[in-house]
Amino acid sequence: MTQWQAVRLVGVHILKREWIGVVATLIFALYCGFVSGSMIGEYFHKANPPGAIMSLVDLMYIVVYPFFGTIMNRSVMTICREDAYSKRIAVLRALPISFRAILQARLLQSFIMIPIIGGVSLIFQYVLYSKIREALSWTEWLTFTLLVLTYSLIAGTLYFVIESVCNGKQYVIVYTIMMFVVIAVGITINLLGKSLFERVMTFVQSGSATIGWMLALLVLVCVINWLGYNFTLRRIKSRSIML
């Protein structure tokens, strides 16, 4: 079996078992688009929207969108007790599938799901809310969409790493710490005068997001994911993974 055949086998195995989770993730993404779109509409409708609303907008984009690379299912809800991710790796290793193929399939999952599901959520916001369309041209929203998805692919690498190298309890601890850090950073940025969303939107509307910027971000995505993959490959080989 070639490396690509192994990656495809893992991908098909996961999709067959978790297709309901993929649908659930898409529905959740549409819900997030509905909620965040309404708050963004308030931002464009009011000259000075409440800081709490903008903090929620920041939290939505910073935390939730990178998570669209993870399939929402029962395993996510019970990871601390059942350590489902480690068990899945153990099952695939017993087939046997190499660690390289397992990790590459998981990264491929993120690179497919984040752009598709995250993109659908962001397009849904623009189509649904007229206040956003009145404030931004479709090219400006497209630029914002590409920035959000690029960030999500970079941040999604962290989810990929902790999902692969941590057991269930470690995953929950690390994830909780990450959330507290993100919330603290978001609040701090808001206290400095503007939310992260407002700063990004100013950047987009100024026309500064050139093709050069986008290419640089694309290179950064590739570098971060390559580093995350190689770090995870080294660490996962030293893990004790049992069924």
Question: In sequence order, what are the residues at sequence separation of 6 or more whose Cβ sits closer than 8 angstroms to the Cβ of residue 30?
Answer: 120, 121, 124
Domain membership of residue 156 as a residue range: 3-236
Indicate the Cα dihedral angle 157, 155, 166, 83, nearest 10°.
-100
User: Residue 123 falls within a domain, yes or no?
Assistant: yes
| Closest to 221 measured CA to CA, from 147, 141, 171, 159 | 147
Evaluate whether 93 touches 102 at the Cβ level (below 8 Å).
yes
- Please report, for the chain, how many H helices and E strands are present, in that order: 12, 0
In a domain, 195, yes or no: yes
Q: How many domains does the chain have?
A: 1
| Residue 48 binned pLDDT confidence (cut-offs 50, 70, 90) | low
Which residue would you say has higher pLDDT here, 6 or 222?
222
Percent of the chain with pLDDT over 90: 19
178 lies in some domain: yes
Mean of per-residue pLDDT scores for the chain: 83
Residue 224 lies in a domain: yes
User: What's residue 226's pLDDT?
Assistant: 92
133 against 212, higher pLDDT: 133
243 within some domain: no
- Asked whether residue 242 is assigned to any structural domain, the reply reads no
- State the DSSP code for 29: H
Residue 243: CA atoms inside 13 Å, Cβ hemisphere, count? 6
Q: Is 43 part of any domain?
A: yes
In whole angstroms, give the CA distance from residue 21 to residue 24. 5
Q: How many CB atoms lie within 10 A of CB 60?
A: 19
Q: What is the pLDDT of residues 142-201, one digit of tens each?
A: 999 999 999 999 988 988 888 888 877 888 888 888 888 888 887 787 777 778 888 888
Which strand (E) or helix (H) includes residue 189?
A: helix 168-191
**222 vs 86, residue with greater confidence:** 222
How many C-alpha atoms does 175 have within 13 Å on its Cβ side? 23
pLDDT per residue as tens digits for the range 103-134: 888 888 888 899 999 999 999 999 998 888 88
What is the mean predicted confidence (pLDDT) over 207-226?
A: 85
Query: Half-sphere exposure (CA, 13 Å, Cβ side) for 102?
Result: 24
Predicted pLDDT at 198:
85
Query: Is the pLDDT confidence value at 42 over 90?
Result: no
Judge whether 117 lies within some domain. Answer: yes
